[in-house]
Amino acid sequence: MTAATNEAPAWFTAALAHPHRDNTVDVNGTAITYRTWGNPQQRGILLVHGGGAHLHWWDFIAPLLADDYYVVALDLGGMGDSGRRNEYTAESYIAEIIAVAGAAGLDNQSVLAGHSMGGAIALRVAVAHPDRFSHLLMLDSPLRPKTDAQEESGKARSPFQNKRFYPDFETAVGRFRLMPEQPVTNSWIFDFIAKNSLTETDEGWCWKFDDNAFKTRMFGQGSELADQLTVPLAIIYGQLSKFFDNETLDYMHEVLPDSTPFIPVPEAHHHLFLDQPLAFVTAIRALMRTWAER
């Protein structure tokens, strides 16, 4: 690991204190939790977290956008504080995002943004509901060509399966890891996310996700949807991300329209807004201004 910054800066503390509203919406019998920041009359942004994550990953990002935008984040089914399902499918996640957008009052000029697995889901939302959002933003969420090797890797065991239980909160926090693992440069962000990723059960402390949600890989490589996408797309990625090597970038430039912005965040890995939160917010703000001018 690289040297971590231990003391939380003032902007982070202020962001966590920013006013917000918590709500739930029922989606086919499952309670889906979501949080909103800012004025609902402003242009909207809906944020979708990655696999095994939750809406609190956005708690220090959303307030930095909330002066100018109405920001919404949700816990996908089986993750965070949302309810659990007997079965998790791409269709169930799509339905949750559409339901939260409606319940939160987001109009069709809103932007849909997803990180990692959340980007893969957001892509499917934009293809299935091309008139629901004005733009799509994929955050370190790559498109890859489908190959035999990747088909096999898609069947590989998920790191989120077989959830463990810990005897106390401190032990559990100490076991928190990013997936995939990467250097921790801002330990105050890492600690905040770790502490908000846990819940207490009769068996002990465990992570806030249903490991049944990861028994199947349902999203493919995303490349099969590229030519079906009609919503304008932008890509923000970590310049050091293991998922955005030169081969992947070359492929994405090949299959996506020439007008697609590709924005690297310097000194950032896959979890780019943990590494460089202020640069990440600056990139989103710049994109939103560009899209507003068109």
Please name the residues in contact with 281: beta carbons below 8 A apart, sequence gap of 6 or more: 61, 64, 65, 273
Please identify every stretch of the chain with a pLDDT value under 70, giving residue numbers as ranges.
1-5, 147-162, 216-221, 294
Q: What is the pTM of this model?
A: 0.93
The pLDDT of residue 159: 54
CB-based contact 84:77 (threshold 8 Å): yes
The pLDDT of residue 212: 87
Please name the residues in contact with 196: beta carbons below 8 A apart, sequence gap of 6 or more: 54, 56, 59
Distance, in Å, from the CA atom of 60 to the CA atom of 176, rounded to the nearest integer, reads 19
Distance, in Å, from the CA atom of 106 to the CA atom of 111, rounded to the nearest integer, reads 9
CB-based contact 124:219 (threshold 8 Å): yes
83, burial (CB in 10 Å: exposed 0-12, middle 13-18, buried 19+):
middle
State the pairing for strand pair 198-201/135-139.
unpaired
DSSP secondary-structure letter at 144? Answer: B
Which residue, among 274, 288, 275, has the nearest Cα to 56 in the 3D structure? 274
Q: CA-CA distances (angstroms) from residue 241 to 12, 19, 196, 233, 273?
A: 24, 32, 24, 20, 12
Distance, in Å, from the CA atom of 192 to the CA atom of 184, rounded to the nearest integer, reads 13
Q: Which CATH class is domain 20-292?
A: alpha beta
Q: Which residue has the tokens 């809906």?
A: 46
Strand, helix or coil for residue 265? strand
CB-based contact 45:79 (threshold 8 Å): no
Please name the residues in contact with 170: beta carbons below 8 A apart, sequence gap of 6 or more: none
